[in-house]
Structure 1
């Protein structure tokens, strides 16, 4: 008999790497859920109700209790639902995983945003330098097939933005930041990750995603 996990809803947009983090965690745990597509230009009453502080996606709603922020949600999913652990069980390894996931959002995501969505050339060059430095730290830390060992773990889920979205972002901007020549271990890891069956079937299609971000960048340039 299947375990009853209660009512699980996910508010999100399919293009977002932060929403996909939550989708992957739910799939790895085998949790059935209802996906509620948001229009961030016209935010729903549900989103404003469940995330009144940041008014952003993703938001997980489990039995009418809401959890926000992608990494917090992934940890919640791991603790609330049994089976297929996502975070390491050993305290020091858990602490390391949390450190590196925060590093990804604080250093890599922020620098990539500068590269893609900043019109100022000096700021963009600064973003490229910061991204390269941060990626080198991850390259040096990667010792196994996945960051989680032989199986996908918390850090792999957080770093999916590097494996799938960063190559799209650099194509939009005509840059070469994350390449197999610069970061061979990370590149091999990225290919293993995006071709993992659970990851592959839950990624948004590449071409529409590329068109989506090209349109966003063109919109920025037009409004300059």
Structure 2
């Protein structure tokens, strides 16, 4: 007897480099889902829970070289562990949708591809901390580095890292999308906001078989 195929978790993550419009598109998708009668929790990483928000301040404030890359990765996963335990898993258990601005793919992209940390080590941490709570869909908002940095506020640590870092970051997200095409969907973030939102809704409707 074949094992039943597990439906994707109603857990949608928004990924990509700086300036891609993740928070805007997350908000618009949440509005569309709520209009369709769904219950939605919106959250972000790093952060999303009380202790994780304290770790967020350590990560996004200060000078670009404040932390060694391995320490940064561990801080991200420490915040993620609490976020999963206190917010994401309880919401999913209650049948709610969870929309998250960044998740574990950002750690692979930023600390792995961007800062040359061992991808195998990061994947081991991901497996241990995230386990079966992988996103049902990851939307990677893709745009050229120059456009993204031009849109970004440039007041956080990561936004002030050099262009070469952001080029590696961009390549990293493309590699992640190629590695897991079923879970990851590339969205052209150079399009007008309304067209990006339409592409997001279409990807969600297809993956979860919902009417939006």
Per the normalisation by structure 2, the TM-score is 0.42
Which structure shows the higher strand fraction?
A: 2
* Higher alpha-carbon Rg: 1
Per the normalisation by structure 1, the TM-score is 0.40
